[in-house]
Structure 1
């Protein structure tokens, strides 16, 4: 038997994802600020690319949360 689709707490879960992703983004930026002169350009580029993906994820989570709140 399939589990019923319970979306009651989707907004809460999405907000948790937003908060967690934003925290990771901030930590990576802080790391770059503190260690930019100590890390390789490849590592710096990798972190910056990952942060770009995090920013896109945050935008998507916010859009999805907005959609959930209108249902």
Structure 2
């Protein structure tokens, strides 16, 4: 791993940690105003399946019938 990649990983970690701390301090009413809710101690978005604590970077494949055509 290069030193630049290491610094970028550290930067992302500390930014995510700071964001999580800020979200944990918010009241449930404020969380709802910005599109999140608290469930079992985790902050989750109102729409979608991902939660703030464990972001998923994987892409879901699009079904063949819904893929855009090139023609």
Structure (1 or 2) with the greater helix fraction: 1
Same fold, TM exceeding 0.5? no
Shorter-chain TM-score range = 0.3 to 0.5
Structure (1 or 2) with the greater strand fraction: 2
TM-score (norm 2): 0.45
TM-score (norm 1): 0.45
